[in-house]
Amino acid sequence: MRSYHYKPPPPLDRFVHVIWCMEQEPTPHPRERLLPDGSVELVINLHDERVPVYTGGDLDRCEVFRGGVVAGPHSQFFAIDTATELNVVGVHFKAGGAYPFFKLPSGELHNLHVGLDALWGRVAAGEVRERLLAAASPHAKARVLEQALLAAAGGVLDRHPAVAFALNAFHEAAEARKIGEVADEIGLSPRRFIEVFRKEVGLSPKLFCRVRRFQKVLALISAGRGLDWAEIALTCGYFDQAHFIHDFQSFSGINPSSYLADHIEHLNHVPMHR
């Protein structure tokens, strides 16, 4: 597998975590389960025009998008078809970072996939893919996406200061922050705070913090040092081990032991063998 990661300079660095390119040989597993992290991902397939996505509790519902797809902020798992995604490029946005580029409230994309052509228009989305196909190197492809994002933003790159403050507070807190506590610091009513947060991030503050806690669990499991489920539950702020297991299964569709046995280098990708 060959991968390339590009960290864009300002002003995109406030909104984009990484622009990436990946080429790989066919994998021995036909699909991969993707676990939620609360952010938005833009994926453009350069190997095949089809982008199949599997959803539902049993991952038995398949939607097929043409060329490119935007995975909205998720709090549910879904699956991708690895056989078709042998040459793909994409943008992994920071939490709340996708909002300026798609011109609609991120809450409307919660747990949804939408074709890039539906958001940017068929002509614009098609032109971006053609430019990517013509680009001679991974760096050139990353620059194509960088330019496309700047064009989509139309010069308006900003976020609500309350959202920026809250995200920073949630990420830096050693323990979960109470929503009312953060709202008080910002100076908004809890209702207004939840409204502006959901508009840009796509999840309520409470759900976002639950997903962030789940991601902390994945990082601890992947580190693999002296795993003890009860200790992980306590470290990550769950009431008890049963609460931890229930939350883990809710977000991933599998139990922690299955994740430990099957996950690969990427924390949020789990091979599926059928």
Residue pair 43/90 in contact by the 8 Å Cβ criterion: yes
93 compared with 170, residue with greater pLDDT: 93
Contact, 114 vs 103, CB < 8 A? no
Which CATH fold would you assign to the domain 2-153? Jelly Rolls (2.60.120)
Nearest to 88 by CA among 132, 131, 118, 27: 132
Rounded Cα gap, residues 174 and 4, in angstroms: 32
* Domain 161-272: CATH class, spelled out: mainly alpha
Give the pLDDT of residue 174. 47
* Tokens, residue 146: 């960088």
Q: For the chain, which residues make up each domain, given as ranges?
A: 2-153, 161-272
pTM here is 0.94
State how far the Cα of 168 lies from the Cα of 243, in Å rounded to an integer: 26
pLDDT in tens, 58-115: 999 999 999 999 999 999 999 999 988 889 999 999 999 999 999 899 999 999 999 9
User: What is the predicted pLDDT for the residue at 172?
Assistant: 64
Query: Please, are residues 251 and 214 in contact by the beta-carbon 8 Å criterion?
Result: yes
Taking 50 as the threshold, does the pLDDT of residue 19 lie above it?
yes
Beta-carbon neighbour count of residue 22 at 10 Å?
18
Cross-strand partners of 89 = 21, 44
User: What's the mean pLDDT in 25-34?
Assistant: 90
> In angstroms, how far is the first alpha carbon of the chain from the final one?
22
Ramachandran area for residue 225 (φ above 0: left; ψ -120 to 50: alpha; else beta):
beta
Rounded distance between C-alpha atoms, residue 174 and residue 208, angstroms: 15
> Could you tell me what percent of the chain has a pLDDT over 70?
97
pLDDT tens digits for range 186-228 = 888 888 999 999 999 999 999 999 999 999 999 988 887 667 8
66/126 Cα distance (integer angstroms):
10
Alpha helices in 173-263 (DSSP H): 179-186, 190-201, 205-223, 229-235, 241-252, 256-262
Amino acid (one-letter) located at 211: V
CB contact set of 134 (below 8 Å; sequence gap of 6+): none
Quote the CA–CA distance of 177 and 73 in Å, as a whole number.
21
Quote the strand ranges of 75-209, DSSP E: 78-81, 87-93, 113-115
pLDDT of residue 170: 86
